[in-house]
Amino acid sequence: MTITVYVVDDSAVVRQTLMHLLQGDPEITLMGSAPNPLLAATAIRKQRPDVLLLDIEMPGMDGLTFLRQVMEEMPIPTVICSTLTEKGSKVALDALAAGAVAVVAKPRLGLKQFLEDSRRELLQTLKSAARSKPRAAARPAAAATTPAAAAPRAPVAGLHALSVNKPVVLGSSTGGTQAIESVLMALPSDAPGIAIVQHMPEKFTAMYAQRLDQLCAMHVREARDGDRLERGVVLIAPGGRHMTLRKAGGQYYVNVVDGPPVNRHKPSVDVLFRSAADCAGRDALAIVLTGMGDDGARGMKLMHDRGARTVAQDEATCVVFGMPKEAIACGAVDEVLPLQRVARAVLEFDQRG
């Protein structure tokens, strides 16, 4: 059975290029395309596609408004195709918060060649999206910019964070932007330092970190080379760069480095987890959340074998159960938890001293 894809993009060049790329894969059928959401809405009500490939900066009804409408009426796995601009990055993040499962970045120049060069990644993203369980946002994405959203969160009842410096490393991919937000919003301002790899295109991660910083009691920022990982701080690996953990003088620091993709990703969860296994051993907690593929499984197994505590998100609460499933399958996971239990697991680990 093939996956049906419907493309919504106001650029005729993009629609034609995507039609050519998708028609070359026997597992994918192009159901149709439209230059705007109004025409698309009529088509997908008649026949529901398995995946929407959606632009977000379009005249008339914008893609974000259309996405929210789709998620309310008939949630369809949606992959966002967004330009690498500040405006495009912000709206793409709003789309992820509204329920889109992935973002494919596209440049303003050399678009046709870029899409052809990225064909394998695009096709894999669409296939994984078809197996996902999209969910509408629990609240409007605009809440990220309101003052009330920045109110500090109370600690989880009955738990007290100790002063020991015990790093937490976390990895996620498809569906991870919402999952990470859920976890961090449930943590108090003095929670253990957390280093995060979220598969996300370059230029998106800085804005994503800013959004989280507005929402959470902890300080959240895009990691810079040499940053110290300390209590109350969350460091997000920059898109297009790997992040590793090191220990010096009893403190933990991150290095942000270039290098080839690992497991087709840069940043890679495995790179972070392996470095944590080397420098933190049993003092660390590793968490893998929703995501496609197997990035992080081998690194988590190494951490597990060296005494680290390891946690995976359960299938029921994952948008895509790929990464947690692979980590569980290789014997890397101590505990499988629903998303709403992950923050408490962080504080329970911290309490153990």
Q: What single string gives the DSSP state of each residue in 65-80?
A: HHHHHHHHHS---EEE
Specify whether 183 is located in the same domain as 321.
yes
Query: Is residue 54, in this structure, part of any structural domain at all?
Result: yes
Specify whether 201 is located in the same domain as 175.
yes
Specify whether 110 is located in the same domain as 217.
no
Specify whether 47 is located in the same domain as 121.
yes
Residue that terminates a domain, selected from 141, 164, 190: 141
Residue that terminates a domain, selected from 141, 169, 192: 141
Specify whether 282 is located in the same domain as 199.
yes
Residue of 55, 213, 295, 350 marked catalytic:
295
pLDDT (tens place) for every residue of the chain, 353 residues total = 799 999 999 989 888 888 888 888 899 999 999 999 999 999 999 999 999 999 888 877 888 899 999 999 999 999 988 775 566 678 888 888 888 988 887 766 676 777 777 788 888 889 989 989 887 655 433 333 333 334 444 444 444 443 457 999 999 998 999 999 999 999 999 999 999 999 988 878 999 999 999 999 999 999 999 999 999 999 999 999 999 999 999 999 999 999 999 998 999 999 999 999 999 999 999 999 999 899 999 999 999 999 999 999 999 999 999 999 999 999 999 999 999 999 999 999 998 85
- Is 199 one of the catalytic residues? yes
What are the helix and strand counts (H, E) for the chain? Answer: 12, 15
Specify whether 259 is located in the same domain as 165.
yes
Query: Is residue 295, in this structure, part of any structural domain at all?
Result: yes
Per DSSP (E only), the strands in the chain are 3-8, 28-34, 51-55, 78-83, 102-106, 168-172, 194-198, 219-222, 228-229, 233-236, 242-248, 251-257, 285-288, 309-313, 335-337
Query: Is residue 146, in this structure, part of any structural domain at all?
Result: no
Specify whether 165 is located in the same domain as 127.
no
Task: Please count the CA atoms within 13 angstroms of the CA of 274 that sit on its side-chain side.
Answer: 13
Specify whether 102 is located in the same domain as 245.
no
CATH code at position 128: 3.40.50.2300
What is the number of structural domains in the chain? 2
Query: Is residue 289, in this structure, part of any structural domain at all?
Result: yes
Residue of 199, 242, 265, 304 marked catalytic:
199
Query: Is residue 149, in this structure, part of any structural domain at all?
Result: no
Query: Is residue 66, in this structure, part of any structural domain at all?
Result: yes
Residue of 82, 132, 172, 173 marked catalytic:
173
If phi over 0 gives left and psi between -120 and 50 gives alpha, with beta otherwise, what is residue 6? beta
CATH code at position 286: 3.40.50.180
Query: Is residue 242, in this structure, part of any structural domain at all?
Result: yes
Query: Is residue 147, in this structure, part of any structural domain at all?
Result: no
Specify whether 201 is located in the same domain as 281.
yes
Question: In terms of residue numbers, what domain contains 79?
Answer: 3-141
- Is 182 one of the catalytic residues? no
35 φ/ψ angles, rounded to the nearest 5 degrees: -85, -10
Specify whether 167 is located in the same domain as 275.
yes
Structure confidence at residue 111 (pLDDT): 67
